[in-house]
Chains A and B, each alone.
Chain A
Amino acid sequence: EIVMTQSPATLSVSPGERATLSCRASQSISSTLAWYQQKPGQAPRLLIYDASTRATGIPARFSGSGSGTEFTLTISSLQSEDFAVYYCQQYFTWPPGTFGQGTKVEIK
Chain B
Amino acid sequence: EVQLVQSGAEVKKPGESLKISCKGSGNSFNGYWIGWVRQMPGKGLELMGIIYPGDSDTRYRPSFQGQVTMSADKSTTTAYLQWRSLKASDTAIYYCVKLVRGAPFDYWGQGTLVTVSS
Give chain A's interface residues, CB within 8 Å of chain B.
Answer: 32, 34, 36, 43-46, 49, 55, 87, 89, 91, 94-102
Q: How far is the CA of A87 from the CA of B95 in the complex (A)?
A: 15
Q: A96-B47, A96-B99 are in contact. List 11 more A-B contacts (CB 8 A).
A: A43-B108, A43-B109, A44-B45, A45-B108, A46-B104, A46-B105, A49-B106, A91-B102, A95-B49, A99-B44, A102-B44
Min CB distance, B33 to chain A, in Å?
8
For the residues of B in contact with A, the DSSP-based class is: loop
For the residues of A in contact with B, the DSSP-based class is: loop
- Tell me whether A43 and B95 are in contact (CB under 8 A): yes
List of A residues within 8 angstroms of B104 by Cβ: 34, 46, 49, 89, 91
List of B residues within 8 angstroms of A97 by Cβ: 35, 37, 46-47, 61
Q: Which of B50, B106, B111 contacts A95 (CB 8 A)?
A: B50
Q: How far is the CA of A96 from the CA of B49 in the complex (A)?
A: 9
- Tell me whether B105 and A95 are in contact (CB under 8 A): no
- Tell me whether B111 and A43 are in contact (CB under 8 A): yes
List of A residues within 8 angstroms of B19 by Cβ: none
Task: Give the nearest-CB partner of A90 in chain B.
Answer: B104
Give chain B's interface residues, CB within 8 Å of chain A.
Answer: 35, 37, 44-47, 49-50, 59, 61, 95, 99, 101-106, 108-111
List of A residues within 8 angstroms of B46 by Cβ: 97, 99
List of A residues within 8 angstroms of B50 by Cβ: 95
List of A residues within 8 angstroms of B47 by Cβ: 95-99
Q: How far is the CA of A101 from the CA of B45 in the complex (A)?
A: 8
List of B residues within 8 angstroms of A89 by Cβ: 45, 104-105
- Tell me whether A55 and B106 are in contact (CB under 8 A): yes
- Tell me whether B44 and A101 are in contact (CB under 8 A): yes
Q: Which of A91, A100, A102 contacts B103 (CB 8 A)?
A: A91
List 15 A-B pairs, Cβ < 8 Å: A36-B105, A43-B109, A44-B45, A45-B108, A46-B105, A87-B45, A95-B50, A95-B59, A95-B61, A97-B35, A97-B37, A97-B46, A97-B47, A99-B47, A102-B45
